[in-house]
């Protein structure tokens, strides 16, 4: 007979198991109720004149005393319901006398002795229904019997230690969709390599695979130092499962290791071949994907072997919405996190924000639910702490960045940061090459011609991803969080980026970061190196934007000269250095040359006017030639016609006295007239919401009131289109509603079950 104490199950797990047992025994399905809101019901069967009510009582710590105490309260609820049959299921061990006491509390007219299922009764039924036992894997995976059997099969101290650690954590485990894929590889190839980004759950998946084999009688061999341990402990014909977590991490620690030592790569390949040739052996390996790629680059033997055929890469997409919810729930229920902290996550269903957050990963969940990590956070600030952790989860990546990737890898990540997290492979290579040269000279490490190729391989799948053959971006937003923290904490990186920039866009990226709330250290570093910053910025100010394409077609790329001037004005106003005044004059002269053959970019030109409007340095205010020159060029361009948005923003950027100047007013009036002829109809057609119609109406009224241009016809047409839109808006909504319902049914259904699950955190004693 099965012999479980059920302590490894949460209330949610216990209810699901109880439901499955009773449905198998009764022969029909039971209706579930939201946990904590049941009024005395967890499951119910109601049909014709038949009414069955089931209650589940899972008590880990309070035992029989807690059960009897709570049943005193439940008795009133049950009598109010008046079911024809009442079934009580509990994880508490019950003697015949205990059951008699329960009947006395509830009442013999409501509860029969045979309808009280205690710990022994549940174990008896699990023996009768082995499929239920198999489906609820935490039962047998974390059972004491399995644990004892597993310990008997662990032959070295570290194996026993690992087994105990896994046993302790099993209640928190949730099988991801990657589990069956990994198990299939392990069963067919006898070896599986689990790779992925930091914090995605590689070790958890490996632990589940390990423990499943231990339950089947395999002997645990946990390797800690090197693969030779496995060779030494291998026994031909004996069922053994070898487990090596982070098997390449001790070899490839950034640039501190040149590669495998003492033919370790050959030893690894030979041991893999040994395991594959033995029907009774299994090998489970985990590694971070960037380290695995380093191994491929540093070892020709590894690169030419078939080791990659046994690899599975674990991604967050391998976790469904429900599995993400279970991971959070299990970590909270089985944690030492005090109830008041848990209640903060339950309040207003804040846990949904965590589950749905695009930066969710298992390591983050472990972090926020570990009391020793949050005990210094006041309860009332705990939600804010979690929100900040979700917004900036850089700590999860920081160790890998500091200790496990090469100098070339760090240069590549800094380069992609300066390119806003995404770019073309060609552009990234150019940015990397320039930056890597600067950093190698400054910090004294060696460069190699193949550094970009090796760094790209090293980081692919862990820090960066290729979205096409020619485009690359960071793996997910938390990588940018990491890089924000790296540059914030070590501001010299910002100096490196400016000195190594190959485009003005990179300079602007660093500048905007320096201006942000988290960029104070960067701004301080820049201000202490003004001459170096000015010298590095200068060549990027004058880079040509023209690119000659096929068939002599001219294209334009990079930051406009107008925007370069706008940013340069901001920098000059901040540092108040004569060096920047000279650069502004030179760039303005270059801009005038550009305007002789190219149209003024009105949108970026307006940014020049805004930058001048914000200046506090008197020396900048004493450059009327530049200010007025830019203004006149922009309003002259606007006279040829532009969008309503550009016209609106231009009017807002100009002081009221300048709007009254004859040539300025005339240019803007001409611009509105051109807009009415060439732009208005298209903008009206593009309105897709009431707010868009209102915005267009506001612009038309602004042109009428400020520039004295008759826009009544356009206003009338806009009002008519808005009225027609609003008449049909309800119909549009109805037409989309069925599709929306169908698309979101599963999501809403999942949310209902998640609410039920998290309700048990407040309703069930432990």
Is residue 369 over pLDDT 60? Answer: yes
What radius of gyration do the chain's Cα atoms show? 34
Q: How confident is the model at residue 158 (pLDDT cuts 50, 70, 90)?
A: low
pLDDT cut 90: percent of the chain above it: 45
What angle do the packed helices 425-443 and 492-499 form, to 10 degrees? Answer: 120
Question: At 500, is the secondary structure helix, strand, or coil?
Answer: coil
Q: Is 689 helix (H, G, I), strand (E, B) or coil?
A: coil
C-alpha closest to that of 445 among 254, 297, 260: 254
pLDDT at 305 > cutoff 90 = no
Would the pTM count as exceeding 0.85? no
User: Higher pLDDT residue, 135 or 647?
Assistant: 647
The DSSP secondary structure of 154-202, one letter per residue, reads B-SHHHHHHHHHHHHHGGG----THHHHHHHHHHHHSEEEEEESTTSSH
Look at 398 and 401; give whichever has higher pLDDT.
401
pLDDT tier for residue 32 given thresholds of 50, 70 and 90? low
Q: Is 714 or 43 the better-scoring residue by pLDDT?
A: 714
Report the percentage of the chain scoring pLDDT > 70: 87
Strand-strand pairing, 464-466 and 471-474: antiparallel
Mean pLDDT along residues 618-636: 93
Mean local confidence (pLDDT), 629-656: 94
Model pLDDT, residue 632: 96
Where does the pLDDT of residue 172 fall: very low under 50, low under 70, confident under 90, or very high at 90 and above?
Answer: confident
Give me the residues paired with residue 285 across strands: 193, 244
Q: What does the alpha-carbon distance between residue 216 and residue 638 come to, in Å, rounded to a whole number?
A: 78
DSSP 664: H
- Residue 39 pLDDT more than 50? no
pLDDT reading at 738 higher than 80:
no
| 9-13-15 Cα angle (round to 5) | 120
What local confidence, expressed as pLDDT, does residue 467 receive? Answer: 77
Pairwise CA distance, residues 208 & 548, whole Å: 57
244-277 residue pLDDT tens = 888 876 444 343 344 455 567 788 888 888 898 8
> Which tens digit of pLDDT belongs to each residue from 180-233?
889 889 988 899 999 888 788 888 899 888 888 877 788 888 887 778 888 888
Print burial letters for 61-86: b (CB count within 10 Å at least 16), e (below 16).
eeebebbeebbeebbeebeeeebeeb
Q: What value does the mean pLDDT take over residues 68-76?
A: 85
In angstroms, how far is CA 433 from the centroid of its own chain?
29
- Please check the confidence at residue 392 and state whether its pLDDT lies above 90: no
pLDDT at 528: 96
Return the higher-pLDDT residue of 395 and 341. 341
568: nearest Cα among 615, 499, 634, 517: 615
Residue 100's pLDDT band, with cuts at 50, 70 and 90, is very high
Residues forming beta bridges with residue 154, ordered by sequence position: 220
**Residue 746 pLDDT greater than 50, yes or no:** no
Poorest-pLDDT segment among 154-163, 533-542, 656-665:
154-163
| Confidence band of 427 (pLDDT split at 50, 70, 90) | very high
Which range (106-110, 165-169, 203-207, 564-568) has the least confidence?
165-169
Asked if 561 and 545 touch (Cβ cutoff 8 Å), the reply is yes
For residues 718 and 729, what is the distance between their CA atoms, to the nearest angstrom? 16
CB 497 within 8 A of CB 435: yes
Is the per-residue pLDDT at 70 higher than 90?
A: no
List pLDDT tens digits, range 354-364: 999 988 888 88
Mean pLDDT taken over the chain: 85
Residue 256's pLDDT is what?
38
- Per the document, the length of the chain is 766
pLDDT for 257 equals: 42
DSSP per-residue string spanning 199-265: TSSHHHHHHHHHHHHHHTTPEEEE--S-THHHHHH--TTS-EEEEETTTTTTT--TTS--S-STTHH
Q: What torsion do the CA atoms of 109, 113, 119, 123 make, to the nearest 10 degrees?
A: -120
Name the nearest CA neighbour of 8 among 192, 143, 146. Answer: 143
């Amino acid at each position: 007979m099965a012999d479980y104490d059920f302590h490894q199950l949460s209330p949610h797990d216990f209810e699901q198991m109880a439901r499955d047992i009773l449905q198998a025994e009764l022969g029909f399905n039971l209706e579930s109720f939201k946990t904590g809101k049941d009024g005395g019901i967890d499951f119910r069967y109601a049909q014709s004149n038949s009414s069955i009510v089931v209650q589940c009582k899972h008590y880990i710590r309070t035992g029989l005393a807690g059960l009897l105490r709570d049943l005193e309260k439940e008795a009133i609820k049950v009598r109010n319901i008046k079911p024809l049959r009442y079934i009580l299921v509990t994880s508490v061990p019950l003697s015949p006398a205990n059951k008699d006491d329960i009947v006395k509390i509830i009442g013999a007219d409501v509860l029969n002795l045979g309808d009280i299922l205690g710990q022994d009764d549940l174990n008896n039924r699990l023996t009768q229904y082995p499929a239920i036992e198999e489906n609820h894997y935490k039962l047998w995976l974390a059972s004491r019997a399995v644990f004892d059997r597993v310990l008997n099969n662990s032959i070295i101290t570290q194996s026993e230690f690992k087994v105990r650690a896994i046993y302790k954590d099993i209640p928190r485990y949730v099988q991801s969709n990657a589990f069956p894929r990994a198990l299939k590889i392990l069963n067919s190839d006898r070896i599986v390599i689990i790779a992925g980004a930091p914090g995605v759950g590689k070790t958890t998946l490996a632990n589940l695979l390990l423990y499943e084999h231990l339950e089947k009688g395999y002997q645990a061999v946990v390797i800690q130092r090197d693969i030779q341990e496995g060779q030494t402990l291998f026994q031909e014909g004996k069922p053994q499962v070898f487990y090596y977590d982070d098997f390449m991490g001790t070899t490839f620690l950034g640039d501190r290791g040149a590669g495998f030592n003492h033919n370790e790569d050959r030893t690894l390949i030979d041991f893999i071949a040994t395991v594959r040739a033995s029907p009774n052996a299994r090998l489970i390996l985990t590694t971070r994907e960037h380290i695995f790629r380093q191994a491929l680059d540093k070892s020709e033997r590894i690169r030419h072997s078939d080791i990659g055929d046994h690899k599975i890469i674990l991604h967050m997409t391998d976790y469904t919405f429900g599995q993400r919810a279970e991971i959070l729930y299990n970590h909270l229920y089985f944690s030492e996190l005090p109830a008041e902290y848990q209640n903060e996550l339950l309040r207003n269903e804040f846990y949904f924000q965590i589950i749905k957050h695009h930066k969710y990963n298992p390591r983050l969940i472990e972090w926020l639910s570990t009391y020793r990590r949050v005990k210094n956070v006041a309860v009332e600030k705990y939600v804010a702490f979690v929100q900040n952790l979700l917004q900036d989860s850089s700590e999860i990546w920081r160790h890998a960045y500091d200790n496990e990737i090469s100098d070339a890898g760090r240069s590549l990540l800094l380069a992609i940061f300066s390119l806003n997290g995404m770019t073309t492979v060609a552009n990234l290579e150019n940015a990397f090459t320039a930056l890597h040269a600067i950093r190698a000279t400054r910090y004294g490490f060696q460069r190699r011609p193949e550094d970009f190729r090796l760094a790209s391989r090293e980081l692919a799948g862990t820090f960066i991803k290729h979205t096409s053959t020619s485009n690359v971006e960071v793996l997910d937003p938390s990588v940018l969080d990491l890089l924000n923290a790296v540059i914030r904490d070590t501001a010299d990186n910002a100096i490196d980026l400016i000195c190594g920039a190959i485009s003005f866009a990179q300079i602007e990226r660093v500048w905007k970061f320096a201006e942000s709330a988290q960029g104070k250290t960067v701004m301080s570093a820049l201000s202490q190196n003004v001459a170096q910053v000015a010298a590095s910025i200068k060549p990027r100010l004058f880079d040509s934007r023209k690119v000659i394409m096929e068939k002599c077609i001219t294209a334009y790329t990079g930051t406009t000269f107008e925007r370069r001037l706008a940013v340069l004005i901001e920098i000059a106003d901040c540092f108040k250095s004569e060096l920047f005044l000279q650069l502004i004059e030179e760039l303005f002269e270059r801009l005038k040359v550009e305007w002789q053959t190219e149209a003024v970019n009105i949108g970026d030109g307006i940014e020049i006017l805004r930058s001048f409007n914000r200046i506090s340095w008197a020396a900048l205010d004493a450059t009327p030639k530049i200010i007025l020159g830019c203004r006149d060029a922009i309003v002259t361009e606007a006279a040829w016609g532009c969008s309503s948005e550009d016209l609106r923003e231009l009017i807002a950027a100009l002081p009221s006295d300048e709007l009254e100047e004859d040539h300025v007013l005339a240019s803007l009036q001409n611009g509105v007239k051109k807009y009415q002829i060439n732009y208005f109809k298209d903008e009206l057609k593009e309105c897709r919401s009431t707010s868009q119609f209102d915005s267009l109406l506001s612009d038309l009224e602004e042109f009428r009131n400020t520039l004295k241009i008759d826009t009544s016809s356009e206003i009338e047409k806009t009002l008519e289109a808005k009225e027609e839109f609003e008449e049909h808006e309800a119909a549009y909504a109805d037409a989309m509603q069925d599709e929306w319902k169908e698309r979101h049914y599963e999501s809403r259904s999942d949310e209902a079950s998640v609410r039920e699950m998290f309700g048990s955190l407040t309703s069930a004693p432990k």
